[in-house]
Structure 1
Amino acid sequence: MDEPRWLDEHEMAAWRGFVAASNLIERRLEQQLKESAGLSHTQYEILVQLSAASDGSLRMTDLADRLVTSKSGLTYQVTQLEKAGLVFRRSCPSDVRGVFAELTEEGWRVLREAAPGHVATVREVLIDVLSREQLAVLAESLGEVSSRLRAADR
């Protein structure tokens, strides 16, 4: 059996910094969205993804891919949004197994109201903390990690 490649001091500092920062950022975003819009961060991201689609709707499988979440987890969150009147589901006309999630007018309204506070919090906890150079390195680095993990999942 091969020996594990333990993290050196520099690697451990990077890992611990990433874990702490990502958890603290997620906690702050979750809190801000709950207080201002009554949404979880995942629910907000569902509304964002639907709003970015040309007609405000996406197949559930495509939505799960974009959110990097399980189909069962997405189904639960969409059900909650549907109960709140922010999203509705409809069947796919060309595939009986396919289901679309679509933003309602109320979903558009809630998203428009929630977005400014969310963006302000993203700026406060991450964007405005870093220099342009640090942001470029972060975007490139995390983009590479995401690309490799997505490729490995395919």
Structure 2
Amino acid sequence: MLTAYGLLREAAAELDHLMRHSLKRSGLQMAMFELLLRLARSHGEKQRLTSLARELTVTTGGITRLVDRAENLGLVRREPCPDDARGSFAVLTEEGKRRLREALPDHLLEIDSLWMSQLADERDLVLGRLRRVRDNARRWPNGRPGLGPITPDRI
């Protein structure tokens, strides 16, 4: 169990490092790229800030600062939420789309060469398993209560 978890963390850290490095060529930081990508893949190219914070695994303060920076660069704009006066949407702008289009080709090549090509026939299986692990972890944002003692068979 610890070996599997350790390998997952190591692989994620290595991939994250390489992806950050490749994105530097486009002038986008990873967080900004992820924000633009999430918005581009969202219905209407917009999303509530609270939803973005959850997807990007940042605090509400963190997403506010990220959207502020993106807005100052002209990559997104804010739009009030009609259902909640306190809420707002981040909306992808034409400039945000342009910057994303510039960054995507190199990013996709990196993903394919470093990760997806290594999976070949197992891609759908691995993606399904990763989604299941992610979704299960999201059920317990503050850690699972009452895990019980760690015994040798659980290691």
How does the TM-score come out when normalised to structure 2? 0.82
Q: Which residue does 2:12 correspond to in 1?
A: 22
| Percent identity (aligned) | 32
Any stretches of 5+ residues in structure 2 without a counterpart? 143-155
Q: Which residue does 1:111 correspond to in 2?
A: 100
* Matched letter for residue 40 of structure 2: S
Q: Which residue does 2:71 correspond to in 1?
A: 82
* Matched letter for residue 139 of structure 2: A
Any stretches of 5+ residues in structure 1 without a counterpart? 1-10
Q: Which residue does 2:86 correspond to in 1?
A: 97
Is residue 130 from structure 1 mapped to residue 112 from structure 2 by the alignment? no
Cα distance in 2 for residues equivalent to 1:51 and 1:149: 25
Deviation at 1:141, TM superposition (A): 2.5
Q: Which residue does 1:149 correspond to in 2?
A: 137
How does the TM-score come out when normalised to structure 1? 0.82
Deviation at 1:106, TM superposition (A): 0.4
SS of the residue corresponding to residue 28 of structure 2 reads: coil
Deviation at 1:81, TM superposition (A): 1.1
Deviation at 1:13, TM superposition (A): 2.8
CA RMSD in angstroms, aligned pairs only: 1.8
Q: Which residue does 2:62 correspond to in 1?
A: 73
* Matched letter for residue 132 of structure 2: E
